[in-house]
Amino acid sequence: MNGRLHDKVAIVTGSGSGIGRGCAIMFAREGARVVGCDIDVRTAAETVELAQAEGLRIDSFHPCDLTRAADVRRLVEFAVERHGGLDVLVNAGAFGAFAWIEEMDHERDWKRTLAGELDVVFLACQAAWPHLKARGGGAIINFASASARVAFRPLPSLAHCAGKGGVLAMTRQLAMEGGPHGIRANTISPALVETTATRIPLETIPDFREEVLDKCMIRRLGRPEDIGWCAIYLASDEAGWVTGADFPIDGGTTAW
């Protein structure tokens, strides 16, 4: 344990999988008091056990549907009651549906993606805001994506691009509104990281892996730890003068 996040109270959403799980465990290793949450009870509990196996503690609030305001309020109350306040919010939990424009169903794909990528960030930020303010400041870390800036030929990601472009833009506004209260808000924009969300497209979409690797200057897929290190920095006091910024952690994918 290096203690870069010593005693900071951090909510990490989507802690049952991928980047959220990686951030929750890495934050706990750095001394944060982590509260995870997920809609998936089994995987959320698994993350708690993985932490326990390392001698770390993660509290978890599950099931929690981040598209429901009442669930999100209860999540934040749970964290504040347990740890006496809140310093960091990592919004990793998300859901996106993928379809080409001609096949995209308005309700099932488009609206569900915007709820799963945008509402979840708005609701969590709004619920956390008064508690971050009460502490005299804190850090919000949102996830945009390389898809907010570039298109990937084999990926039918219209709604996802809209959602992530939205996260990128709204985080700048959050930074501006949070500045006077000491609340910093930044985005991390990963390119393709191997997680539950990307396993199926990687296995089923022809040429997807090759297209992604072709765009990547460091020719490998990302790992949750690649993202977790950036999240630790942004959550820590080392990033005290960093807000309204986007961090492309993408092996150079968007730098061509």
The site for ligand NAD (CB under 6 A) is made up of 14, 16-20, 38-40, 43, 64-67, 92-95, 116, 120, 143, 145, 190, 192-193, 195-198
**For residue 108, which phi and psi values (nearest 5 degrees)?**
-70, -40
For ligand NAD, the closer of residues 11 and 64 by Cβ is 64
Residue closest to ligand NAD, measured at CB: 18
Question: Smallest distance, Å, CB 165 to ligand NAD?
Answer: 12
Element (H, E) at 11: strand 9-13
Position 1, amino acid:
M
For ligand NAD, the closer of residues 194 and 244 by Cβ is 194
Contact 146, 191 (CB under 8 A): yes
Residues 84 and 47: their CA atoms lie apart, in Å, by: 23
Question: Smallest distance, Å, CB 180 to ligand NAD?
Answer: 27
Question: Smallest distance, Å, CB 7 to ligand NAD?
Answer: 26
Question: Smallest distance, Å, CB 142 to ligand NAD?
Answer: 8
The closest of 145, 119, 132, 138 to 18, measured between CA atoms, is 145
For ligand NAD, the closer of residues 78 and 95 by Cβ is 95
Which DSSP symbol is given to 39?
A: S
For ligand NAD, the closer of residues 236 and 253 by Cβ is 253
For ligand NAD, the closer of residues 24 and 132 by Cβ is 24
- Nearest 5 degrees, angle CA 16-CA 234-CA 256? 90
